[in-house]
Amino acid sequence: AAVGGQAALIQQQINFTRGNEQEADRVGIDILAQSGYEPRAMPSFFERMGKANRVYASKLPEFLMTHPVTSSRTADAMGRAEQYPYRQTPEFLRYHLARMALTQRQNDRPEEAIRDLGQMLEDGRFRNETAVRYGMALAQIRANRLADAGATLDRLLGIHPEVVEFIVSRARVEALQGDNAGALRRLETAIAEHPESYALNVTYAESALAMGEPARSAAKLQRFLDFRSEEPRVYQLLSRAAGDQGKQALGHEYLSEYYYLIGDLEGAILQLEIALKKPGMNFYDSSRLESRLADLKSEQDDEKKKGSAKP
């Protein structure tokens, strides 16, 4: 009888602890919801910890040993979270869009991806519907179903007109359909709202070059340098735009910056030396390039000294 009473007492203590944990979970979920976060993130994290419990049972932190994340606790947390409206923060959406873009980039069977994503939408099997539809658009582009991709992206833009990924993809569809002017107009409008966006500016520059308008490409990228001046791709495109305009020395100068930013110091020096040999350069430009060349050679000498000093 004594043993039975002791067991009952222990069970009562366990039940009390579980009750406290569930109450703490409820408070935590409520705080998440009131703070503007997605409350379902808590039970989702519980699921991940539950898997860790099963895989690394002998190496768990003491806290998880004394406060286990059981399936019943996870289910209770999910039930409580479902009482709140679904909330999707911009950061949360960008994560899923980036993940979907990476998945589709690695998929070399776009038609199969279209079928799979369509089935996911039909069955409701997804963590983020917007990301699945975005993946559908990317797969449709790769499958050359441009009209379908345009329709999918128009639907997404109707709900999320500010999402850069959708704007860029829609402009890409227009360009592939031969409407480069329409693509540039769309991007121009978006850049006015997001002048600091790398994706918008680079896509605009690429589209302008494809249209044979290197001056427009260069002008847009020059303004973008005020926001981000250390993007190798920007200098690569500026080099191409300068070359297309017959500005050979300037093209090599930009290419020098491209090589410098990717860590090829020798290539950067070579491009400046080529630029200085081009005819027609004025005194100001040649002095500027010679000064930059001297800086790069000094940096190269410092690197050689550091290398020779190592044992």
Q: Which of 52-56, 138-142, 185-189 has the lowest mean pLDDT?
A: 52-56
Instruction: State the CB neighbour count (10 A cutoff) for residue 98.
Output: 12
165 & 96 share domain: yes
Q: How many C-beta atoms surround the C-beta of residue 17 within 10 A? A: 12
Tell me, yes or no, whether 169 and 189 share the same domain.
no
The answer to whether the beta carbons of residues 108 and 127 sit under 8 Å apart is no
Q: How confident is the model at residue 48 (pLDDT cuts 50, 70, 90)?
A: confident
Domain boundary pick from 38, 59, 87 = 87
pLDDT band at residue 21 using 50, 70 and 90 as cut-offs: confident
Same domain, 139 and 65: no
Residues 186 and 170 in one domain: no
Statement to judge: residues 73 and 151 lie in one domain:
no
Query: Rounded to whole angstroms, how far apart are CA atoms 132 and 89?
Result: 17
Q: What is the pLDDT of residue 39?
A: 72
Give me the mean pLDDT over the 227-241 stretch: 97
Q: Which two tokens stand for residue 306?
A: 């550091």
Domain tally for the chain? 4
**At CA 71, angle to CA 68 and CA 7, rounded to 5?**
60
Q: Does 202 lie in the same domain as 132?
A: no
Is residue 20 one of the residues assigned to a domain? no
CB 187 within 8 A of CB 206: no
Asked whether residue 173 falls in the same domain as residue 100, the answer is yes
Are the CB atoms for 261 and 232 separated by under 8 Å? yes
**Token code pair at residue 138:** 């990317």
Q: What is the pLDDT of residue 6?
A: 58
**Does residue 165 share a domain with residue 115?**
yes
Average pLDDT score over residue span 102-110: 92
pLDDT for position 54:
62
- Within a domain: 6: no
The CATH number that applies at residue 308 is 1.20.58
38 pLDDT above the threshold of 90? no
Within a domain: residue 287? Answer: yes
- Separation in Å, CA 230 to CA 64, 180, 241: 45, 28, 18
The answer to whether residue 120 sits within a structural domain is yes
Q: Is residue 267 part of a domain?
A: yes
pLDDT surpassing 60 at residue 58: no
Average pLDDT (187-210) is: 96
Asked whether residue 81 carries a pLDDT value surpassing 90, the answer given is no
Confidence of residue 231 (pLDDT cuts 50, 70, 90): very high
Tell whether 222 and 287 lie within a shared domain: no
* Residue after which a domain boundary falls, among 87, 106, 133: 87
User: Does some domain include residue 18?
Assistant: no
**What's the mean pLDDT in 251-279?**
97
Q: Is the pLDDT of residue 197 over 90?
A: yes
| Residue 2 counted as domain residue | no
Give percent of the chain with pLDDT exceeding 70: 81
Tell whether 274 is covered by a domain: yes
- State residue 148's pLDDT score: 98
**Owning domain of residue 252:** 248-311
Provide CB contacts within 8 A for 211, sequence distance 6+: 180, 181, 184
Out of 191, 223, 246, pick the residue that ends a domain: 246
How does pLDDT run across 131-162, given as a tens digit for each residue?
Answer: 999 999 999 999 999 999 999 999 999 999 99
More confident: 228 or 21:
228
Per-residue pLDDT at 248: 96
Clarify whether residues 143 and 200 are in a common domain: no
